[in-house]
Amino acid sequence: MKIAVIGVGYVGLVTGVTLSDIGHVVTCIDVDPAKIVKLNQGIPTIYEPGLGALLQKNIEVERLYFTADHKKGLEGAEVVYIAVGTPQREDGAANLDYVEQAARDIAANINRGIIVVIKSTVPVGTNVHIKNLINQNTIDGVRVQIASNPEFLREGSAIKDTFHGDRIVIGTEDKETADILEEINKPFNVPILKTDIASSEMIKYSSNAFLATKISFINEIANLCESLGANVEEVARGMGLDHRIGPDFLRAGIGYGGSCFPKDTNALVQLAGNARHEFNLLESVIEVNNNQQVLLIDKIMSRFGTIENKKVAVLGLAFKPKTDDLRESPSLVMIPRLAELGANIIAYDPIAVPNARKHLSTAIEYTESLDEALRDTDFAVIITDWPEVKTIDLSAFSKLMRTPVVFDGRNCYSLDAVKKSAVEYYSIGRPSHTPEPIG
């Protein structure tokens, strides 16, 4: 089938590449000419494991194209996916400006009926609104059908999630549209759930809100464990063995970030408010997460009293491993705060340094060398649990640092290993460790 995808950000690019890989002819459209030039050369514009190989493969077999020309990109398309961003407004609601612009661009450049699929995360009611917007602006009475097909991709494993996902959700107003989209997605060999449009829109928000709730819950338990002398890892393990709860997303740390959870939880609270429903639970989830992101600052100040002129290694900038995405990363909160308190900061990340330079105005030093980051520092703060950080020999801290004091926001190391080291160690929801003096 001939498909167009509007937007080549994270979701749009992965969608276009994977749809082409299962046999469809896909043209991706974006208003950024620089992106189009790179993508037509087979160069990914985002960091995502496995994406580059699929991109090049499907360009070479002439199933995947990129253009900044909407008329050219939409010509002959039977199905058009909208995969543009829906950033958060100041009031927490989703900003639909880019989705509405995509709708106008579709209306201005089609001359026959097509199916428009909204892949972007949008509030309940948006699909119907976009359908009406397109149909009101098409020429010669052309009419479109609308469908909701939310994405459930995890950054760092988006290609795997596409081909081995838990489900594909398709929300439509009629059986014929649902059947066409089911046929498009069959080669993925992933279970397909067909539902009405409003339910499909709600499934996306509800899923992310529930996962965010699990994260904030275990972080609250972690903070209580510290007060009571329990170990949150043992608690989470015991909870996760109950099949009704499960082990996923029960890992304590310094909170969730990224492009989905913060934006979607805020949007759902706003959506509930519009429906005159006070979502007290989710408001608390958001508050817990905001507090959790600065938890290590309190631990640092409790240990040192002052960090004026102390050299600190910040290990990790991205909100999670295997991505260069800094959106809502705790690093964006913690680094400016450490700088305000007078610390001299050297920040390490194997992938995200170029993005960090764009997002952080704080005057800090950057490095892609873990050893360089740790050398002659007074303490280290772990923000992202990169494999390079998790697998480091703990003796490297004592060998490289001026004082081997580590504040671990991701619980990277077993307490048994820490106890055998010369590292002074503070983590989340677990006992701290101070090594015995030598001599």
Task: Please tell me the distance from the alpha carbon of residue 423 to that of residue 401, in angstroms, as a whole number.
Answer: 10
Based on the number of CB atoms within 10 Å of its own CB, is 207 exposed (0-12), middle (13-18) or buried (19 or more)? Answer: middle
Q: Is 391 among the annotated ligand-binding positions?
A: no
Q: Is 30 among the annotated ligand-binding positions?
A: yes
Q: Is 349 among the annotated ligand-binding positions?
A: no
Closest to 428 measured CA to CA, from 398, 397, 383, 395: 383
Q: Is 54 among the annotated ligand-binding positions?
A: no
Q: Is 121 among the annotated ligand-binding positions?
A: yes
- Of the residues 28, 225, 260, 412, which is catalytic? 260
Give the gyration radius of the chain's Cα atoms.
24
Q: Is 296 among the annotated ligand-binding positions?
A: no
Q: Is 298 among the annotated ligand-binding positions?
A: no
> Taking a C-beta distance cutoff of 8 angstroms, is the pair 417, 393 a contact?
no
Residue 278 identity: E
Is 307 in a helix, a strand, or coil?
coil
Q: Is 327 among the annotated ligand-binding positions?
A: yes
Q: Is 143 among the annotated ligand-binding positions?
A: no
Q: Is 263 among the annotated ligand-binding positions?
A: yes
Catalytic, 260? Answer yes
Is 422 in a helix, a strand, or coil?
coil
Q: Is 407 among the annotated ligand-binding positions?
A: no
Q: Where are the alpha helices (DSSP H) in 229-360?
A: 232-240, 261-274, 280-292, 295-304, 330-340, 353-359
Which residues, listed in sequence order, are joined to residue 392 by a DSSP beta bridge? none
25-29 and 2-6 as β-strands: parallel, antiparallel, unpaired?
parallel
Task: Please tell me the distance from the alpha carbon of residue 277 to that of residue 42, in angstroms, as a whole number.
Answer: 47
Q: Is 390 among the annotated ligand-binding positions?
A: no
Residue partners of 391: CB distance under 8 A and separation at least 6: none
Task: Please tell me the distance from the alpha carbon of residue 383 to that of residue 207, in angstroms, as a whole number.
Answer: 25
Q: Is 163 among the annotated ligand-binding positions?
A: no
Q: Is 249 among the annotated ligand-binding positions?
A: yes
DSSP code of 187? G
CA–chain centroid gap for 277, Å, is 27
CA–chain centroid gap for 367, Å, is 23
Q: Is 384 among the annotated ligand-binding positions?
A: no
Q: What angle do CA 356, 357, 358 make, to 5 degrees?
A: 90
Measured CA distances, 222 to 234, 261, 353 (Å): 11, 20, 30
Tokens for 57, please give them: 């493969």
Q: Is 342 among the annotated ligand-binding positions?
A: no
Task: Please tell me the distance from the alpha carbon of residue 208 to that of residue 385, in angstroms, as a whole number.
Answer: 21
Q: Is 357 among the annotated ligand-binding positions?
A: no
Q: Is 186 among the annotated ligand-binding positions?
A: no
Q: Torsion-angle region of residue 312: left (phi > 0), alpha (psi -120 to 50) or beta?
A: beta
List the 311-315 sheet strands across, edge first: 365-367, 344-348, 311-315, 379-382, 405-408, 424-426
Active site residues: 260
Enumerate the known binding-site residues: 30, 35, 86, 121, 152-155, 204, 249-253, 257, 263, 320, 327
Enumerate the known binding-site residues for NAD(+): 30, 35, 86, 121, 155, 263, 327
Enumerate the known binding-site residues for substrate: 152-155, 204, 249-253, 257, 320
